[in-house]
């Protein structure tokens, strides 16, 4: 008979708990319990419009985005800066948590200022379970690269939704914009 050692169970809980909250908060998990505070992945065929987003070194163009309740938007994102940048849709709390993950990517050699080391990302993924930066609410781009995010915003916003770059130092230097919910759009 296998016995669970209390110290091992506690250590396992500490390892699982921080990531469990993030996983559940990003989507409804297909269980029909509603959507996350910041919305859910959308389908390109359902996009009401396309918004072009240009990432410069520490600012976005446009600086804010107005959305209608439940609107699906295709974001075409281009990195016009000299450094790696991210376009990430989330709440301020989600961005704060993600900044720690991005710092780990920097510490493990995945992010190198002006490039992304995919070999290091795969190694980090294999050893730690993350590092590939493939969430549907986000795109990470090296200078000159383009990407796309298709996102459906919630019907009701109970708090703030932002788009931000969580590469270490970028959010704090102002690379963040607000998503504004507009009724009657």
DSSP E strand boundaries for 8-122 = 40-41, 49-56, 59-61, 64-67, 72-79, 85-90
Q: Do strands 161-164 and 85-90 pair parallel, antiparallel, or not at all (unpaired)?
A: antiparallel
Structural domains for the chain: 37-181 (2.60.40.420)
The answer to whether the beta carbons of residues 149 and 138 sit under 8 Å apart is yes
Confidence (pLDDT) at 11: 34
Is residue 7 over pLDDT 60?
Answer: no
**CB distance 111 to 124 below 8 Å:** no
Better-scored residue on pLDDT, 169 or 29: 169
Note whether 112 and 174 are within 8 A (CB): no
Residue 38 has pLDDT above 50, yes or no: yes
- Per-residue pLDDT of 104-151, as tens digits, reads 989 989 999 999 998 988 888 888 765 556 789 999 999 999 999 999
pLDDT in tens, 64-89: 999 999 999 999 999 999 999 999 99
Q: Count of residues for the chain?
A: 185
Average pLDDT over every residue of 43-47: 96
What is the b/e burial string over 154-179, where b = at least 16 CB atoms within 10 angstroms of the residue's CB? beebeeebbbbbbbbebbeeebbbeb
* Residue 3 bridge partners (DSSP): none
- Separation CA 92–CA 57 (nearest Å): 20
């Amino acid at each position: 008979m296998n016995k669970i050692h209390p110290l091992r169970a506690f250590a396992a809980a500490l390892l699982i708990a921080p990531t469990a909250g993030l996983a559940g908060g990003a989507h409804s998990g297909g269980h029909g319990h509603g959507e996350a505070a910041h919305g859910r992945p959308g389908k390109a065929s359902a996009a009401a419009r396309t918004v072009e987003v240009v990432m410069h070194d520490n600012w976005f163009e446009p600086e804010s985005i107005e959305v209608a309740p439940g609107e699906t938007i295709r974001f075409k994102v281009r990195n016009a800066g000299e450094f790696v940048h991210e376009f990430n849709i989330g709440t301020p709390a989600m961005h704060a948590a993600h900044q720690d993950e991005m710092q780990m990517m920097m510490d493990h050699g995945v992010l190198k200022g002006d490039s992304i080391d995919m070999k290091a990302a795969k190694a980090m993924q294999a050893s730690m379970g993350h590092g590939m930066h493939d969430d549907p609410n986000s795109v990470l781009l090296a200078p000159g690269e383009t990407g796309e995010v298709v996102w459906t915003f919630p019907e009701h916003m109970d708090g703030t939704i932002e788009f931000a770059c969580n590469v270490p130092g970028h959010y704090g230097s102002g690379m963040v914009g607000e998503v504004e919910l507009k009724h009657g759009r």
